[in-house]
Amino acid sequence: MPADLHEHLFRHEAGRMTASLTRLFGMQNFALVEDVVQDAFCRALEIWKLRGVPPNPSAWLMTTARNRALDVIRRERTARTFAPEVTRLLETEWTAAGVVAEAFSGDVVLAEQLRMMFSCCHPDLAEPAQIALILNILCGFGAPEIAAAFLTSRAAIEKRITRGKRVLAGSSTLFDLSDADFAARLSAVHRALYLLFNEGYHGASTQGAVRAELCEEAMRLTALLRDHPVTRTPATFALSALMALHAARLPARIDAAGELQSLWEQDRSAWNHALIAEGQELLDRSAAGDELTAYHVEAAIAAIHAAAPTLEATDWNAIVTLYDRLMAIAPSAVVALNRAIAIAQRDGPDQGIEAIERIADRERLGAYPFFPAALGELERRRGNVGEARTYFGRALQLARSDAERRYIERRIETALR
Amino acid sequence: MSDFIFLYRNSPAAREAAMGTPEQRQKNMQRWMAWMRDLEGKGHLKSAGQPLDRSGKLVRGGSKAVTDGPFVEAKDVIGGYSIIEARDLAHAAELAKGCPALDGAEGSVEVRPVMKLEM
Protein backbone atom coordinates (compact mmCIF):
# COMPACT_ATOMS: atom_id res chain seq x y z
CA MET A 1 0.00 0.00 0.00
CA PRO A 2 1.52 3.35 -0.98
CA ALA A 3 2.39 5.49 2.03
CA ASP A 4 0.60 8.58 0.75
CA LEU A 5 -2.66 6.66 0.40
CA HIS A 6 -2.90 5.98 4.04
CA GLU A 7 -1.54 9.34 4.94
CA HIS A 8 -4.43 10.89 3.06
CA LEU A 9 -7.00 8.46 4.41
CA PHE A 10 -5.72 8.67 7.97
CA ARG A 11 -5.80 12.44 7.89
CA HIS A 12 -9.43 12.62 6.94
CA GLU A 13 -10.48 9.83 9.26
CA ALA A 14 -8.52 11.36 12.15
CA GLY A 15 -10.86 14.37 12.20
CA ARG A 16 -13.96 12.15 12.10
CA MET A 17 -12.75 9.78 14.80
CA THR A 18 -11.56 12.63 17.01
CA ALA A 19 -14.94 14.34 16.79
CA SER A 20 -16.91 11.19 17.73
CA LEU A 21 -14.54 10.18 20.50
CA THR A 22 -14.60 13.67 22.01
CA ARG A 23 -18.37 13.53 22.15
CA LEU A 24 -17.99 10.43 24.31
CA PHE A 25 -14.89 11.13 26.37
CA GLY A 26 -15.30 14.89 26.78
CA MET A 27 -12.78 17.66 26.11
CA GLN A 28 -11.11 17.06 29.47
CA ASN A 29 -10.00 13.64 28.20
CA PHE A 30 -8.65 14.89 24.88
CA ALA A 31 -5.30 13.15 25.38
CA LEU A 32 -7.19 9.85 25.69
CA VAL A 33 -9.06 10.68 22.47
CA GLU A 34 -5.76 11.17 20.68
CA ASP A 35 -4.42 7.89 22.08
CA VAL A 36 -7.41 5.95 20.77
CA VAL A 37 -7.11 7.54 17.31
CA GLN A 38 -3.40 6.72 17.21
CA ASP A 39 -4.11 3.21 18.38
CA ALA A 40 -6.69 2.65 15.62
CA PHE A 41 -4.13 3.75 13.02
CA CYS A 42 -1.46 1.43 14.44
CA ARG A 43 -3.87 -1.50 14.33
CA ALA A 44 -4.84 -0.67 10.78
CA LEU A 45 -1.22 -0.62 9.66
CA GLU A 46 -0.48 -3.91 11.37
CA ILE A 47 -3.53 -5.77 10.13
CA TRP A 48 -3.61 -4.29 6.63
CA LYS A 49 0.01 -5.27 6.16
CA LEU A 50 -0.94 -8.88 6.83
CA ARG A 51 -4.37 -9.11 5.20
CA GLY A 52 -4.34 -6.24 2.73
CA VAL A 53 -6.43 -3.08 2.76
CA PRO A 54 -10.13 -3.83 3.39
CA PRO A 55 -12.66 -2.80 0.71
CA ASN A 56 -13.90 0.12 2.80
CA PRO A 57 -10.88 1.26 4.82
CA SER A 58 -12.58 4.30 6.27
CA ALA A 59 -15.46 2.19 7.70
CA TRP A 60 -12.88 -0.29 9.01
CA LEU A 61 -11.07 2.50 10.86
CA MET A 62 -14.27 3.92 12.33
CA THR A 63 -15.35 0.47 13.55
CA THR A 64 -11.95 -0.13 15.10
CA ALA A 65 -12.08 3.21 16.90
CA ARG A 66 -15.63 2.47 18.04
CA ASN A 67 -14.70 -0.91 19.52
CA ARG A 68 -11.63 0.55 21.10
CA ALA A 69 -13.71 3.35 22.62
CA LEU A 70 -16.03 0.83 24.25
CA ASP A 71 -13.03 -1.10 25.66
CA VAL A 72 -11.60 2.09 27.11
CA ILE A 73 -14.95 3.12 28.58
CA ARG A 74 -15.39 -0.27 30.27
CA ARG A 75 -11.87 -0.18 31.65
CA GLU A 76 -11.87 3.43 32.82
CA ARG A 77 -15.44 4.26 33.74
CA THR A 78 -14.85 4.04 37.47
CA ALA A 79 -11.64 6.09 37.27
CA ARG A 80 -12.70 8.84 34.85
CA THR A 81 -15.55 11.21 34.22
CA PHE A 82 -16.47 11.22 30.55
CA ALA A 83 -18.49 13.80 28.62
CA PRO A 84 -21.16 15.19 30.98
CA GLU A 85 -24.09 14.47 28.62
CA VAL A 86 -23.28 10.78 28.43
CA THR A 87 -21.20 9.94 31.48
CA ARG A 88 -24.13 8.30 33.34
CA LEU A 89 -25.13 6.31 30.29
CA LEU A 90 -21.59 5.05 29.78
CA GLU A 91 -21.55 3.70 33.36
CA THR A 92 -23.98 0.93 32.50
CA GLU A 93 -24.06 -1.90 30.00
CA TRP A 94 -27.73 -1.10 29.46
CA THR A 95 -26.69 1.82 27.28
CA ALA A 96 -22.88 2.04 26.86
CA ALA A 97 -22.65 0.21 23.52
CA GLY A 98 -25.68 2.06 22.18
CA VAL A 99 -24.34 5.47 23.13
CA VAL A 100 -20.97 4.63 21.54
CA ALA A 101 -22.65 3.39 18.35
CA GLU A 102 -24.70 6.58 18.21
CA ALA A 103 -21.57 8.76 18.47
CA PHE A 104 -20.17 6.97 15.40
CA SER A 105 -23.31 7.24 13.24
CA GLY A 106 -23.16 9.42 10.13
CA ASP A 107 -25.22 12.46 11.15
CA VAL A 108 -23.58 12.62 14.55
CA VAL A 109 -20.06 12.35 13.10
CA LEU A 110 -20.82 15.32 10.85
CA ALA A 111 -22.41 17.38 13.62
CA GLU A 112 -19.54 16.64 16.01
CA GLN A 113 -16.93 17.63 13.40
CA LEU A 114 -18.75 20.93 13.01
CA ARG A 115 -18.92 21.44 16.77
CA MET A 116 -15.19 20.76 16.92
CA MET A 117 -14.56 23.27 14.12
CA PHE A 118 -16.64 25.88 15.94
CA SER A 119 -14.82 25.11 19.19
CA CYS A 120 -11.44 25.64 17.51
CA CYS A 121 -12.55 29.15 16.51
CA HIS A 122 -12.78 30.22 20.15
CA PRO A 123 -12.71 34.03 20.57
CA ASP A 124 -9.84 33.72 23.07
CA LEU A 125 -7.62 32.34 20.32
CA ALA A 126 -5.93 34.42 17.63
CA GLU A 127 -6.71 33.45 14.04
CA PRO A 128 -3.35 31.71 13.39
CA ALA A 129 -3.94 29.58 16.50
CA GLN A 130 -7.47 28.73 15.36
CA ILE A 131 -6.14 27.62 11.99
CA ALA A 132 -3.34 25.56 13.53
CA LEU A 133 -5.88 23.83 15.78
CA ILE A 134 -8.24 23.11 12.89
CA LEU A 135 -5.40 21.61 10.88
CA ASN A 136 -4.23 19.54 13.82
CA ILE A 137 -7.56 18.28 15.16
CA LEU A 138 -9.82 18.15 12.10
CA CYS A 139 -7.29 17.51 9.36
CA GLY A 140 -4.80 15.28 11.17
CA PHE A 141 -1.81 17.52 10.39
CA GLY A 142 1.13 17.20 12.78
CA ALA A 143 3.04 20.19 14.12
CA PRO A 144 5.96 19.70 11.63
CA GLU A 145 3.58 19.76 8.64
CA ILE A 146 1.78 22.85 9.91
CA ALA A 147 5.12 24.54 10.59
CA ALA A 148 6.24 23.75 7.02
CA ALA A 149 3.03 25.15 5.56
CA PHE A 150 3.25 28.41 7.50
CA LEU A 151 7.03 28.78 7.43
CA THR A 152 7.06 28.88 11.22
CA SER A 153 9.16 26.89 13.64
CA ARG A 154 7.83 23.58 14.87
CA ALA A 155 8.21 24.77 18.47
CA ALA A 156 6.05 27.82 17.79
CA ILE A 157 3.30 25.68 16.27
CA GLU A 158 3.46 23.18 19.11
CA LYS A 159 3.05 26.01 21.57
CA ARG A 160 0.08 27.35 19.62
CA ILE A 161 -1.60 23.93 19.55
CA THR A 162 -0.96 23.20 23.23
CA ARG A 163 -2.36 26.54 24.28
CA GLY A 164 -5.32 26.08 21.96
CA LYS A 165 -6.13 22.68 23.42
CA ARG A 166 -5.95 24.18 26.90
CA VAL A 167 -8.54 26.77 25.90
CA LEU A 168 -10.74 24.00 24.44
CA ALA A 169 -10.42 21.90 27.58
CA GLY A 170 -11.55 24.96 29.58
CA SER A 171 -15.10 24.21 28.50
CA SER A 172 -16.40 20.77 29.42
CA THR A 173 -18.28 20.29 26.16
CA LEU A 174 -17.85 21.30 22.55
CA PHE A 175 -19.50 24.42 21.17
CA ASP A 176 -23.22 23.88 20.86
CA LEU A 177 -24.62 24.74 17.42
CA SER A 178 -27.81 26.03 19.07
CA ASP A 179 -25.82 28.49 21.18
CA ALA A 180 -26.78 32.19 21.14
CA ASP A 181 -23.29 33.00 19.82
CA PHE A 182 -23.82 30.79 16.79
CA ALA A 183 -23.90 33.55 14.15
CA ALA A 184 -20.75 35.25 15.46
CA ARG A 185 -18.94 31.93 15.73
CA LEU A 186 -20.01 30.90 12.22
CA SER A 187 -18.39 34.03 10.81
CA ALA A 188 -15.23 33.23 12.77
CA VAL A 189 -15.27 29.73 11.24
CA HIS A 190 -15.78 31.19 7.74
CA ARG A 191 -12.89 33.57 8.33
CA ALA A 192 -10.55 30.81 9.56
CA LEU A 193 -11.38 28.61 6.55
CA TYR A 194 -10.95 31.59 4.22
CA LEU A 195 -7.51 32.31 5.70
CA LEU A 196 -6.58 28.63 5.52
CA PHE A 197 -7.51 28.58 1.85
CA ASN A 198 -5.61 31.81 1.18
CA GLU A 199 -2.55 30.45 2.92
CA GLY A 200 -2.65 27.57 0.47
CA TYR A 201 -3.38 29.77 -2.50
CA HIS A 202 -1.09 32.75 -1.95
CA GLY A 203 0.97 31.47 0.94
CA ALA A 204 4.67 31.85 1.36
CA SER A 205 5.45 28.14 1.52
CA THR A 206 7.48 27.20 -1.52
CA GLN A 207 6.26 23.63 -1.64
CA GLY A 208 3.40 23.54 -4.09
CA ALA A 209 2.14 20.23 -2.76
CA VAL A 210 1.78 21.51 0.79
CA ARG A 211 -0.14 24.52 -0.47
CA ALA A 212 -2.53 22.54 -2.64
CA GLU A 213 -3.30 20.41 0.38
CA LEU A 214 -4.21 23.43 2.49
CA CYS A 215 -6.64 24.50 -0.23
CA GLU A 216 -8.12 21.01 -0.38
CA GLU A 217 -8.61 20.87 3.37
CA ALA A 218 -10.25 24.30 3.45
CA MET A 219 -12.61 23.18 0.68
CA ARG A 220 -13.37 19.88 2.40
CA LEU A 221 -14.24 21.58 5.70
CA THR A 222 -16.36 24.21 3.95
CA ALA A 223 -18.22 21.38 2.21
CA LEU A 224 -18.98 19.94 5.67
CA LEU A 225 -20.64 23.26 6.55
CA ARG A 226 -22.77 22.86 3.42
CA ASP A 227 -23.86 19.39 4.55
CA HIS A 228 -25.54 20.53 7.77
CA PRO A 229 -28.86 22.43 7.78
CA VAL A 230 -27.75 24.84 10.51
CA THR A 231 -24.48 25.87 8.84
CA ARG A 232 -25.78 25.80 5.26
CA THR A 233 -26.08 29.59 4.98
CA PRO A 234 -25.76 31.87 1.93
CA ALA A 235 -22.35 32.99 3.23
CA THR A 236 -21.23 29.34 3.43
CA PHE A 237 -22.20 28.86 -0.23
CA ALA A 238 -20.44 32.10 -1.18
CA LEU A 239 -17.25 31.03 0.58
CA SER A 240 -17.45 27.63 -1.06
CA ALA A 241 -17.98 29.25 -4.48
CA LEU A 242 -15.03 31.54 -3.92
CA MET A 243 -12.78 28.59 -3.09
CA ALA A 244 -13.94 26.50 -6.05
CA LEU A 245 -13.47 29.37 -8.52
CA HIS A 246 -9.99 30.12 -7.25
CA ALA A 247 -8.96 26.48 -6.95
CA ALA A 248 -10.01 26.02 -10.58
CA ARG A 249 -7.08 28.27 -11.52
CA LEU A 250 -4.56 26.42 -9.33
CA PRO A 251 -3.32 24.10 -12.10
CA ALA A 252 -2.34 27.15 -14.18
CA ARG A 253 -0.88 29.15 -11.29
CA ILE A 254 2.30 27.13 -11.29
CA ASP A 255 3.63 26.29 -14.76
CA ALA A 256 5.51 23.17 -15.87
CA ALA A 257 8.81 24.63 -14.68
CA GLY A 258 7.34 25.29 -11.21
CA GLU A 259 7.13 29.04 -11.81
CA LEU A 260 4.37 31.19 -10.38
CA GLN A 261 2.10 32.49 -13.15
CA SER A 262 -0.02 35.57 -12.61
CA LEU A 263 -3.59 35.75 -13.85
CA TRP A 264 -2.24 37.82 -16.78
CA GLU A 265 -0.07 35.07 -18.18
CA GLN A 266 -1.92 31.89 -17.12
CA ASP A 267 -2.78 29.25 -19.69
CA ARG A 268 -6.56 29.41 -19.38
CA SER A 269 -7.01 26.02 -21.02
CA ALA A 270 -5.34 24.51 -17.96
CA TRP A 271 -8.10 25.83 -15.67
CA ASN A 272 -10.31 23.17 -14.14
CA HIS A 273 -13.61 23.74 -15.91
CA ALA A 274 -15.56 21.27 -13.80
CA LEU A 275 -14.60 23.28 -10.71
CA ILE A 276 -15.54 26.52 -12.45
CA ALA A 277 -19.00 25.10 -13.19
CA GLU A 278 -19.30 23.92 -9.59
CA GLY A 279 -18.21 27.32 -8.29
CA GLN A 280 -20.72 29.06 -10.52
CA GLU A 281 -23.50 26.81 -9.24
CA LEU A 282 -22.47 27.43 -5.62
CA LEU A 283 -22.44 31.15 -6.31
CA ASP A 284 -26.00 30.93 -7.67
CA ARG A 285 -27.09 29.13 -4.51
CA SER A 286 -25.40 31.78 -2.33
CA ALA A 287 -27.79 34.39 -3.71
CA ALA A 288 -30.62 33.24 -1.41
CA GLY A 289 -31.36 35.66 1.39
CA ASP A 290 -30.50 39.36 1.63
CA GLU A 291 -27.05 39.11 3.18
CA LEU A 292 -24.20 40.23 0.92
CA THR A 293 -20.83 39.24 2.38
CA ALA A 294 -17.32 39.95 1.16
CA TYR A 295 -17.24 36.26 0.12
CA HIS A 296 -20.16 36.88 -2.24
CA VAL A 297 -18.37 39.79 -3.90
CA GLU A 298 -14.99 38.05 -4.08
CA ALA A 299 -16.64 34.96 -5.56
CA ALA A 300 -18.46 37.12 -8.11
CA ILE A 301 -15.12 38.71 -9.15
CA ALA A 302 -13.54 35.27 -9.46
CA ALA A 303 -16.52 34.12 -11.54
CA ILE A 304 -16.02 36.95 -14.03
CA HIS A 305 -12.35 36.06 -14.41
CA ALA A 306 -13.24 32.39 -14.79
CA ALA A 307 -15.81 33.16 -17.49
CA ALA A 308 -13.48 35.35 -19.56
CA PRO A 309 -11.90 33.51 -22.51
CA THR A 310 -8.93 35.93 -22.53
CA LEU A 311 -7.53 38.66 -20.35
CA GLU A 312 -8.65 41.30 -22.85
CA ALA A 313 -12.17 39.90 -23.08
CA THR A 314 -12.66 40.24 -19.31
CA ASP A 315 -15.58 42.42 -18.22
CA TRP A 316 -13.40 44.96 -16.36
CA ASN A 317 -16.25 47.34 -15.86
CA ALA A 318 -18.17 44.72 -13.86
CA ILE A 319 -15.01 43.92 -11.90
CA VAL A 320 -14.44 47.58 -10.98
CA THR A 321 -18.06 47.82 -9.82
CA LEU A 322 -17.64 44.72 -7.67
CA TYR A 323 -14.44 46.12 -6.14
CA ASP A 324 -16.35 49.31 -5.33
CA ARG A 325 -18.87 47.16 -3.49
CA LEU A 326 -16.13 45.19 -1.75
CA MET A 327 -14.57 48.46 -0.59
CA ALA A 328 -17.94 49.37 0.93
CA ILE A 329 -18.27 46.04 2.81
CA ALA A 330 -14.68 45.16 3.69
CA PRO A 331 -12.32 47.97 2.81
CA SER A 332 -8.59 47.25 2.85
CA ALA A 333 -5.51 48.57 1.13
CA VAL A 334 -5.08 45.31 -0.81
CA VAL A 335 -8.66 45.47 -2.09
CA ALA A 336 -8.09 49.11 -3.07
CA LEU A 337 -4.94 48.11 -4.96
CA ASN A 338 -6.78 45.38 -6.85
CA ARG A 339 -9.51 47.88 -7.66
CA ALA A 340 -6.89 50.30 -9.05
CA ILE A 341 -5.43 47.53 -11.22
CA ALA A 342 -8.91 46.76 -12.59
CA ILE A 343 -9.41 50.49 -13.30
CA ALA A 344 -6.11 50.52 -15.22
CA GLN A 345 -7.36 47.58 -17.28
CA ARG A 346 -10.60 49.39 -18.02
CA ASP A 347 -9.44 53.02 -18.44
CA GLY A 348 -5.67 52.90 -18.94
CA PRO A 349 -2.49 53.21 -16.82
CA ASP A 350 -2.91 56.94 -15.98
CA GLN A 351 -6.26 56.28 -14.31
CA GLY A 352 -4.80 53.23 -12.59
CA ILE A 353 -1.92 55.19 -11.08
CA GLU A 354 -4.32 57.93 -10.06
CA ALA A 355 -6.46 55.37 -8.25
CA ILE A 356 -3.37 54.00 -6.49
CA GLU A 357 -2.39 57.48 -5.38
CA ARG A 358 -5.82 57.92 -3.88
CA ILE A 359 -5.54 54.79 -1.66
CA ALA A 360 -5.92 56.28 1.80
CA ASP A 361 -3.83 53.83 3.81
CA ARG A 362 -1.22 53.17 1.14
CA GLU A 363 1.56 52.85 3.73
CA ARG A 364 -0.03 49.58 4.85
CA LEU A 365 1.12 48.10 1.55
CA GLY A 366 4.74 48.97 2.38
CA ALA A 367 5.87 45.36 2.71
CA TYR A 368 3.64 43.96 -0.03
CA PRO A 369 5.81 43.17 -3.10
CA PHE A 370 2.90 43.35 -5.52
CA PHE A 371 2.31 47.01 -4.64
CA PRO A 372 5.56 48.34 -6.23
CA ALA A 373 5.24 45.61 -8.89
CA ALA A 374 1.83 46.99 -9.89
CA LEU A 375 3.19 50.55 -10.01
CA GLY A 376 6.15 49.35 -12.06
CA GLU A 377 3.83 47.63 -14.51
CA LEU A 378 1.68 50.75 -14.94
CA GLU A 379 4.69 53.09 -15.31
CA ARG A 380 6.05 50.78 -17.98
CA ARG A 381 2.77 50.97 -19.83
CA ARG A 382 2.99 54.77 -19.62
CA GLY A 383 6.47 54.52 -21.13
CA ASN A 384 8.38 55.56 -17.98
CA VAL A 385 10.97 52.79 -18.14
CA GLY A 386 13.26 54.34 -15.53
CA GLU A 387 10.54 54.63 -12.91
CA ALA A 388 9.30 51.17 -13.76
CA ARG A 389 12.76 49.78 -13.15
CA THR A 390 12.95 51.47 -9.73
CA TYR A 391 9.58 50.05 -8.68
CA PHE A 392 10.40 46.53 -9.85
CA GLY A 393 13.69 46.74 -7.98
CA ARG A 394 11.80 47.57 -4.81
CA ALA A 395 9.37 44.71 -5.43
CA LEU A 396 12.29 42.33 -5.76
CA GLN A 397 13.60 43.37 -2.36
CA LEU A 398 10.20 42.70 -0.78
CA ALA A 399 9.68 39.24 -2.34
CA ARG A 400 8.77 36.74 0.40
CA SER A 401 9.68 33.52 -1.37
CA ASP A 402 11.82 32.23 -4.20
CA ALA A 403 8.73 31.78 -6.34
CA GLU A 404 7.79 35.44 -5.88
CA ARG A 405 11.38 36.55 -6.50
CA ARG A 406 11.64 34.59 -9.74
CA TYR A 407 8.25 35.87 -10.80
CA ILE A 408 9.32 39.51 -10.41
CA GLU A 409 12.66 38.85 -12.08
CA ARG A 410 10.79 37.43 -15.04
CA ARG A 411 8.58 40.50 -15.17
CA ILE A 412 11.66 42.71 -15.26
CA GLU A 413 13.20 40.62 -18.02
CA THR A 414 10.15 40.53 -20.29
CA ALA A 415 8.63 43.93 -19.53
CA LEU A 416 11.74 46.09 -19.53
CA ARG A 417 13.66 44.50 -22.31
CA MET B 1 -37.20 11.19 47.72
CA SER B 2 -36.55 7.51 48.37
CA ASP B 3 -34.69 4.80 46.57
CA PHE B 4 -36.37 1.96 44.76
CA ILE B 5 -34.97 -1.03 42.96
CA PHE B 6 -36.53 -1.94 39.64
CA LEU B 7 -36.09 -5.62 38.86
CA TYR B 8 -36.77 -6.21 35.19
CA ARG B 9 -38.29 -9.63 34.55
CA ASN B 10 -39.21 -11.45 31.42
CA SER B 11 -39.85 -14.95 30.14
CA PRO B 12 -36.81 -16.73 28.68
CA ALA B 13 -38.62 -16.98 25.33
CA ALA B 14 -39.34 -13.23 25.19
CA ARG B 15 -35.74 -12.41 26.06
CA GLU B 16 -34.54 -14.78 23.38
CA ALA B 17 -36.77 -13.06 20.84
CA ALA B 18 -35.61 -9.57 21.80
CA MET B 19 -31.98 -10.53 21.30
CA GLY B 20 -32.57 -12.76 18.23
CA THR B 21 -31.54 -10.89 15.08
CA PRO B 22 -29.15 -7.92 14.96
CA GLU B 23 -32.10 -5.69 14.01
CA GLN B 24 -34.10 -6.84 17.03
CA ARG B 25 -31.09 -6.38 19.25
CA GLN B 26 -30.59 -2.87 17.96
CA LYS B 27 -34.24 -1.98 18.34
CA ASN B 28 -34.26 -3.40 21.85
CA MET B 29 -31.11 -1.47 22.77
CA GLN B 30 -32.62 1.75 21.44
CA ARG B 31 -35.78 1.24 23.51
CA TRP B 32 -33.69 0.78 26.65
CA MET B 33 -31.53 3.81 25.80
CA ALA B 34 -34.59 5.99 25.40
CA TRP B 35 -35.97 4.72 28.72
CA MET B 36 -32.71 5.32 30.61
CA ARG B 37 -32.27 8.75 29.02
CA ASP B 38 -35.79 9.69 30.03
CA LEU B 39 -35.22 8.66 33.66
CA GLU B 40 -31.84 10.39 33.68
CA GLY B 41 -33.30 13.56 32.16
CA LYS B 42 -36.02 13.73 34.83
CA GLY B 43 -33.51 13.11 37.60
CA HIS B 44 -34.88 9.70 38.63
CA LEU B 45 -31.90 7.57 37.68
CA LYS B 46 -29.81 7.04 40.79
CA SER B 47 -27.94 4.23 39.10
CA ALA B 48 -28.78 2.62 35.80
CA GLY B 49 -27.66 -0.71 37.27
CA GLN B 50 -26.70 -3.41 34.78
CA PRO B 51 -28.35 -5.94 32.49
CA LEU B 52 -27.73 -9.55 33.48
CA ASP B 53 -26.60 -12.45 31.35
CA ARG B 54 -29.07 -15.27 30.80
CA SER B 55 -26.71 -17.94 32.12
CA GLY B 56 -25.64 -18.36 35.73
CA LYS B 57 -25.39 -20.67 38.70
CA LEU B 58 -27.77 -21.22 41.54
CA VAL B 59 -26.31 -22.01 44.95
CA ARG B 60 -28.88 -23.59 47.29
CA GLY B 61 -29.00 -23.35 51.06
CA GLY B 62 -28.23 -26.28 53.35
CA SER B 63 -26.40 -28.61 51.00
CA LYS B 64 -24.80 -25.63 49.15
CA ALA B 65 -25.50 -27.57 45.99
CA VAL B 66 -24.61 -25.63 42.84
CA THR B 67 -26.82 -25.99 39.77
CA ASP B 68 -26.59 -24.37 36.35
CA GLY B 69 -28.79 -21.59 35.03
CA PRO B 70 -30.44 -20.33 32.89
CA PHE B 71 -33.34 -21.47 35.04
CA VAL B 72 -35.40 -22.87 32.17
CA GLU B 73 -37.95 -24.07 34.63
CA ALA B 74 -38.62 -20.53 35.81
CA LYS B 75 -41.63 -18.66 34.43
CA ASP B 76 -39.54 -15.51 34.26
CA VAL B 77 -35.94 -14.51 34.89
CA ILE B 78 -34.44 -11.29 36.10
CA GLY B 79 -32.93 -9.49 33.11
CA GLY B 80 -31.37 -6.66 35.05
CA TYR B 81 -31.92 -3.93 37.61
CA SER B 82 -31.77 -0.17 38.18
CA ILE B 83 -31.92 2.09 41.22
CA ILE B 84 -34.56 4.78 40.92
CA GLU B 85 -35.32 7.86 43.00
CA ALA B 86 -39.02 8.57 43.47
CA ARG B 87 -41.32 10.34 45.93
CA ASP B 88 -42.97 7.14 47.13
CA LEU B 89 -43.83 3.63 46.07
CA ALA B 90 -46.86 4.75 44.06
CA HIS B 91 -44.74 7.27 42.16
CA ALA B 92 -42.05 4.64 41.53
CA ALA B 93 -44.67 2.21 40.19
CA GLU B 94 -46.00 4.96 37.90
CA LEU B 95 -42.48 5.54 36.55
CA ALA B 96 -42.03 1.82 35.89
CA LYS B 97 -44.87 1.92 33.37
CA GLY B 98 -42.55 3.39 30.74
CA CYS B 99 -40.17 0.45 30.89
CA PRO B 100 -39.46 -1.48 27.66
CA ALA B 101 -39.63 -4.73 29.67
CA LEU B 102 -43.41 -4.21 29.55
CA ASP B 103 -43.56 -4.22 25.74
CA GLY B 104 -44.63 -7.88 25.82
CA ALA B 105 -47.32 -9.37 28.04
CA GLU B 106 -44.82 -11.68 29.73
CA GLY B 107 -42.53 -8.89 30.95
CA SER B 108 -42.83 -7.26 34.36
CA VAL B 109 -41.05 -4.73 36.54
CA GLU B 110 -40.83 -5.52 40.21
CA VAL B 111 -40.67 -2.25 42.15
CA ARG B 112 -39.16 -2.64 45.64
CA PRO B 113 -38.32 0.12 48.11
CA VAL B 114 -34.80 -0.08 49.50
CA MET B 115 -35.24 -1.00 53.15
CA LYS B 116 -33.45 1.14 55.68
CA LEU B 117 -32.13 -1.16 58.41
CA GLU B 118 -31.78 0.39 61.83
CA MET B 119 -29.85 -1.01 64.75
Instruction: Count contacts between A and B (CB, < 8 Å).
Output: 39
When pLDDT is cut at 50, 70 and 90, the band that residue A25 belongs to is very high
Delimit the domains of chain B by residue range: 2-113
**A43-68, pLDDT tens digit by residue?**
999 999 999 999 999 999 999 999 99
pLDDT at A170: 85
Delimit the domains of chain A by residue range: 1-104
d(C-alpha A127, C-alpha B56), whole Å? 59
| B29, B36, B82 ranked by CB distance to A97: nearest | B29
pLDDT at B71: 63
DSSP string, A360-391: TTGGGGTT-THHHHHHHHHHHHHT-HHHHHHH
pTM: predicted TM-score of the whole model, two decimal places: 0.88
| B30, B40, B80 ranked by CB distance to A98: nearest | B30
Mutate to test the interface with A, among B19, B26, B36, B54 (most CBs of A within 10 A): B36
> What is the pLDDT averaged over residues B13-24?
83
pLDDT at B17: 80
Interstrand relation of B77-86 and B45-51 (parallel, antiparallel or unpaired): antiparallel
Residue type, A246: H
Mutate to test the interface with B, among A93, A95, A102 (most CBs of B within 10 A): A95
Q: Are B99 and B36 in contact (CB under 8 A)?
A: no
Pick the CATH number of B2-113 from 3.30.70.1110, 3.30.70.1060, 3.30.70.360, 2.40.50.140: 3.30.70.1060
Highest mean pLDDT among A266-275, B63-72, B81-90: B81-90
Is pLDDT at A282 greater than 80 in this prediction? yes
**A351-366, pLDDT tens digit by residue?**
999 999 999 888 888 8
**A294-333, pLDDT tens digit by residue?**
999 999 999 999 999 998 899 999 999 999 999 999 999 9
pLDDT at A205: 61
Which residue in chain A is spatially nearest to B83 when comparing CA positions? A92
Q: How far is A226 from chain B (nearest CA, A)?
A: 29
> What is the pLDDT averaged over residues A20-38?
94
When pLDDT is cut at 50, 70 and 90, the band that residue B70 belongs to is low
pLDDT at A5: 64
Is pLDDT at B19 greater than 90 in this prediction? no
Which residue in chain B is spatially nearest to A92 when comparing CA positions? B50
- CB contact under 8 Å between A94 and B47, yes or no, is no
pLDDT at A202: 79
More confidently predicted of A385 and B72: A385
Non-local CB neighbours of B74 within 8 Å, separated by 6+ positions: B12
How long is chain A? 417
**A68-123, pLDDT tens digit by residue?**
999 999 999 989 999 988 998 999 999 999 999 999 998 999 999 999 999 999 99
Interface of A with B (CB under 8 A): 88-89, 91-95, 97-99, 102
When pLDDT is cut at 50, 70 and 90, the band that residue A42 belongs to is very high
CA B73 to chain centre: 19
Q: Where are the alpha helices (DSSP H) in A138-259?
A: 143-150, 154-169, 182-202, 208-227, 234-247, 250-253
